[in-house]
Amino acid sequence: MPDHTGTRSAAAAGPVILNCGGRALVLDRPRIMGVLNITPDSFSDGGAFVTPERAIDQAREMVAGGADIIDVGGESTRPGADAISPQEEMDRVLPVLEALLAEFPVPVSIDTSKPEVMREAAGRGAGMINDIMALRREGAMQAAADSGLPVCLMHMQGEPRTMQKNPRYDDVVGEVMAFLGERVAACTAAGISRRRLVLDPGFGFGKTLTHNYQLLRELGRFVAMGLPVLTGISRKSMVGRVIDKPVDQRLYGSVAAAVLAAREGARILRVHDVAPTVDAVRIVQATLEPETLVS
């Protein structure tokens, strides 16, 4: 059984609080990040929310279901997806970002690797930068530093269009940890405080099925790096291949993965099905932290 004493001692020292553009995200328990893809070719929802009106309706449902933060993305990162220009990405996400901030009290994260999008979104009130490239694109590090926002650094082997073509590691956990450690060092050297950083092992991004489940099984090693950990497993092929279900039938498998990640110490769970995940994670919290129960 995993040892959760480290998670408890970290909680005893006080929770991490991310200042998300003036809106606090208190990581005293696993927090739920609702996924909002403003893309016509998303793997998970097939472009169901590509219009601003439908996207806002979906966000409304997620917030009602208990989402603590909404993650808005305008470019698909599925294997083989086509790249789009910064302007096209901004045209998709900025109207939705502004509408969400006007209606809901929760922070809104921007899922992008483009410095132009980071700057514009930050200027319009975005609360976090969620970058699958871990600020490796030219200009991204400076844009993130200037924004003052929390940043999620994700590991990916290769790039989205080719990442699933025979990914290889000698030690997947060790190599992903080393990469994230290097990116943290690069961020601090650029003036981005560790207090602003979140780590994501990058499930499904340049990993085989075996790699993904090894990362999930040993997620506590990432938690032990001392920074909040975000996981994004919801509806991915690592779920579908085990339960043999298409994308729209992966709810139970996705919730199970979220429960395992929460139990291992993940503090942000990026999911499509908010309300069921919220309920499941509350049971995890009651189990690991019984002092939070009200008799």
Distance (Å, rounded) from C-alpha 250 to C-alpha 98? 31
Among this protein's residues, is 236 annotated catalytic?
A: yes
- Among 92, 119, 183, 236, which one carries the catalytic annotation? 236
Distance (Å, rounded) from C-alpha 164 to C-alpha 78? 10
Among this protein's residues, is 165 annotated catalytic?
A: no
- Among 92, 119, 263, 270, which one carries the catalytic annotation? 270
Residues 6+ away with beta carbon under 8 Å from 157: 163, 167, 169, 205, 206, 207
Question: One-letter amino acid identity for 258?
Answer: A
Strand partners, 70: 34, 108
The set of catalytic residues is 236, 270
